[in-house]
Amino acid sequence: MIRVLIVDDDPMVAELNKRYLQKVHGFTLAGIVHTVKDAREFLETERVHLILLDVYMPSATGIDLLRFIRKKNISVDVILITAATDKENIQTALRYGALDYLIKPFEFDRFNQALLQYKEKHHFFENHPMLRQEDIDGQILSTEQKFAASSIENLPKGLTTSTLESILKVIQKKANQPFSTDDISEITVISRVSVRKYLKFLTNLGILEESLTYGVGRPGHLYRLKEHKLKQLNRFF
């Protein structure tokens, strides 16, 4: 089992990540801590394979923990799960060896994808002490290559350009105002489930900014258009 440490100062987010983790086979929760100091102490006494790490925390940041891990040469992998969207934090995290970068809020599918990709590579390294060039090309770099190849011309399976155009027209009329899945569904008369797929697609492209609203029951999702990013859709039409 892959032992995972969750490091996040928000107990609600940490609990959500814990629940997501419990849905993915092959992983077990090693612990949850809410500060970098506690994370450093945890790593001194417990075996951890993977850290799910927030950036913004009191006293010290997730980037500070990444620096500590690399300086001490601690054998642990890191996936960033954070609201930090600025270029500096993202580039720094990647330079310090973060394997993936999930921007809050995100869906379980994206979380599951990150962990399954990690599990595949983790087990591959465990079972192959010596690697050939074809191993590196086929197993280690294949994810990035496949993503680049699949994102040039075609929409994801199940999405159509006509429906995307209909949803985009409504979104553009919202200008800079936040909106929900229900808002778009009511105007377009497209099912909420279908609308959600298109909003997720646009969010993954960076065309929509997604935020969580907390109230009674499960957190809700609101979206806001980044109009200057719309040109990214030109290749799909």
pLDDT in tens, 8-35: 999 999 999 999 999 999 999 999 999 9
Rounded to whole angstroms, how far apart are CA atoms 45 and 68? 16
pLDDT at 106 over 60: yes
CATH 3.40.50.2300 maps onto the chain at 2-128+135-150
**For 175-217, what is each residue's pLDDT tens digit?**
889 999 999 999 998 999 999 999 999 998 889 998 887 655 5
φ and ψ at residue 138, rounded to 5 degrees: -85, -30
Q: Which CATH number fits domain 161-236: 1.10.10.1590, 1.10.10.10, 1.10.132.10, 3.40.50.10420?
A: 1.10.10.10
Rounded to whole angstroms, how far apart are CA atoms 42 and 129? 28
Contact 155, 236 (CB under 8 A): yes
CA end-to-end span of the chain, whole Å? 44
Q: Minimal CA–CA distance to 230: which of 209, 193, 205?
A: 205
Reduced to 3 states (helix: H, G, I; strand: E, B; else coil), residue 163 is helix
- The reported pLDDT for the residue numbered 136 is 65
- The reported pLDDT for the residue numbered 120 is 84
- The reported pLDDT for the residue numbered 38 is 96
pLDDT at 52 over 90: yes
pLDDT at 76 over 90: yes
**For 114-171, what is each residue's pLDDT tens digit?**
898 898 888 888 877 787 777 666 655 544 444 444 433 467 888 888 899 999 999 9
> Would you place residue 67 in the very low, low, confident or very high pLDDT band (cuts 50, 70, 90)?
very high
Q: Which residues pair with 79 in a beta bridge?
A: 52, 100
- The reported pLDDT for the residue numbered 151 is 39
Q: How many other β-carbons are positioned within 10 Å of the β-carbon of residue 113?
A: 15
- The reported pLDDT for the residue numbered 84 is 82
CATH 1.10.10.10 maps onto the chain at 161-236
Reduced to 3 states (helix: H, G, I; strand: E, B; else coil), residue 54 is coil
CATH homologous superfamily of 2-128+135-150 equals Response regulator (3.40.50.2300)
- The reported pLDDT for the residue numbered 155 is 79
